[in-house]
Structure 1
Amino acid sequence: MTRWTRDPFRGSWAVLDGRTTWTRLRGPDFRQLRPDVYVGAAAEQDLRMCVRGLRLWSQDLGILAGPLAALAYEAECPWDDAELIMPGRCHPAPSGTRIRTDRLSPDEIAERFGCPITSPVRTAFDLARREPLVEAVAAVDSLAHTCRFPSDYLRRFAAGHPRARGIVQVRRVLELMDPRAESLPETRLRLGLLDRGVPPGVPQYRVRLLTGERKRLDLAWPEAMVALEYDGPGHRTITGQNRDAFHRGRLGDLGWNIGVVTSAMIADPVAFDELAARVLRQLG
């Protein structure tokens, strides 16, 4: 596979250059990414390919934003739709792509995969304006944790855009965000408990075990020695299960009461209510 078929290219340009024909582009050797944007059929379709294809479709005018920008920073995001910021009017957006017209200052633009994307704080600001609120907070938590910027950084940015659409929700996100959360479910757990009257817990609370080993608890109430651990995919392997059993036994030796939370408990309102009531009883 040649270099030009490994990377996205404009079909019309390739035909004009004599590298291929429209008939061949419609055949099995190529895959269409966007209108007039193609790649070789054997090329790996990954985030980089998606980003470069969008940039090429925009004729090198668009700046990647929103969920794909967050994913490009290797942050988790509840959404994965494509969003592109254009400096002016453009052709109708390709299917599954949101186009916004805006002018960004130089410090609001970064680079990934050789393409311009919104900076981490600008990306967080845009995601904070999305609904629902809980998912917006989860997205901002993940981006702030991954890119290591504090809530004050986003607060100063928001203060510079007081008339932006969705600024009221951004202020609410700022009240609720906590960059210490290490996954989307951890944020959903934290906010769901708050909504059910449970006092705020401490995300990723550090505990030193009697063995000298350090352990971080997903959500803890240190004064009451109560904590919750989210049971994600990494905890379900044999190695993960054994590790968790040892840790929870050693935490119990210190007097900690550890509860285990699953994705089903967070998704089921009745189970979530029961979990919140259980934590409230333990907190006394």
Structure 2
Amino acid sequence: MATGRLTRARLRGPDFRKLAYDVYVGAAAEEDLGMRVRALRLWSQDRGTVGGPLAALAYDADCPWTDAELFVPSRYHPAPEGTTIRTDRLLPGEVAERFGAPITSPARTAFDLARRTPLVDAVAAVDAVAHACRLTTEHLRRVVEDHPRARGLVQVRRVLTLMDPRAESLPETRLRLGLLDRGVPPGVPQFRVVLLTGERVRLDLAWPNVRFALEYDGPEHRTITGQNRDAFRDAHLADLGWVVVRVPSAMVLDPRALDRLAARVRRAVA
């Protein structure tokens, strides 16, 4: 507009779409993660660092939430829709880059997600970031030590005791925590088994000492191809003495169904 190449009327017309104050994109452009990250950076006048769930998604980690946190030197008003403005201090090692813009590092992203509620979702989010970025509890513990006065440290320490980077999906973490909460001895996530055919497979949650395992059945398991693949694999596992119980999403989401599953697992692994 300053150079005369674009008028205000055209900018507000059908050729463009507003992403945030003073940030526009062509109407035909497909909005994706990279666009969201760059738009927030532009909105902050190149002074903001994207964090929270949007940063987790930028690392290809699943997340229970899709909103963004934007770390800026001073508070901005009003924030773009779906964005929380943060003025927390970020240390130099807590900033990385994705899509040509600064975002919080994997460890700092996990730290911020660990302070969210509910606890189960916080652990699931941290597990996802840890799995995608190969984080350990030590990476998260260092961030805690660097911010001794940050809010939510009690929960972060609780997350540290519960996180497990081996989990490969949010439902797997929710299943694992639901069973722990019901007194089931800890299982081993993504336990590796070599079949008699020589094929190597992984079990979502296993108790190797008694050869008992749970497999979470996501959407890919409900296709004809997925069902056939699972049937052959379960048969090969049975040849080795494994008992595999398949857990649908409804069972993880239904507390009473999870109660019954926990009782069954306790009997099997006692």
TM-score (norm 1): 0.93
Within the candidate set 240, 246, 257, 1:271 is matched to: 257
Deviation at 1:96, TM superposition (A): 1.7
**Cross-structure match for 1:4:** none
Are residues 1:170 and 2:156 paired? yes
Structure 1 counterpart of 2:120, which letter?
A: V
Q: Which secondary structure does the structure 1 equivalent of 2:63 belong to?
A: coil
Deviation at 1:17, TM superposition (A): 2.1
Question: Does the CA-based 8 Å contact 2:16-2:27 persist in structure 1?
Answer: yes
Counterpart CA distance in 2 for 1:87 and 1:157 is 20
Are residues 1:112 and 2:98 paired? yes
1:135-174 matched pairs, under 5 angstroms: 135-174=121-160
**Cross-structure match for 2:215:** 229
Deviation at 1:190, TM superposition (A): 0.2
Are residues 1:84 and 2:70 paired? yes
Q: Which secondary structure does the structure 1 equivalent of 2:191 belong to?
A: strand
Are residues 1:248 and 2:258 paired? no
Question: Does the CA-based 8 Å contact 2:51-2:109 persist in structure 1?
Answer: yes
Within the candidate set 35, 38, 54, 1:68 is matched to: 54
Counterpart CA distance in 2 for 1:124 and 1:234 is 27
Seq. identity, %: 73
Question: Does the CA-based 8 Å contact 2:75-2:85 persist in structure 1?
Answer: no
Deviation at 1:123, TM superposition (A): 0.3
For each residue in 1:222-251, what CA deviation from the matched residue of structure 2 results, as whole angstroms up to 9, or x when unmatched?
Answer: 111110000012212222211111110010
1:16-95 matched pairs, under 5 angstroms: 16-95=2-81
Question: Does the CA-based 8 Å contact 1:88-1:102 persist in structure 2?
Answer: no
Question: Does the CA-based 8 Å contact 2:19-2:25 persist in structure 1?
Answer: yes
TM-score (norm 2): 0.98
Q: Which secondary structure does the structure 2 equivalent of 1:229 belong to?
A: strand
Question: Does the CA-based 8 Å contact 1:66-1:83 persist in structure 2?
Answer: yes
Question: Does the CA-based 8 Å contact 2:75-2:86 persist in structure 1?
Answer: no
Deviation at 1:103, TM superposition (A): 2.5
Deviation at 1:79, TM superposition (A): 0.3
Q: Which secondary structure does the structure 2 equivalent of 1:16 belong to?
A: coil
Counterpart CA distance in 2 for 1:267 and 1:102 is 35
1:164-203 matched pairs, under 5 angstroms: 164-203=150-189
Structure 2 counterpart of 1:230, which letter?
A: Y
Counterpart CA distance in 1 for 2:32 and 2:147 is 33
Structure 2 counterpart of 1:29, which letter?
A: D
Gaps spanning 5+ residues in structure 2: where? none
Equivalent pairs, count: 270
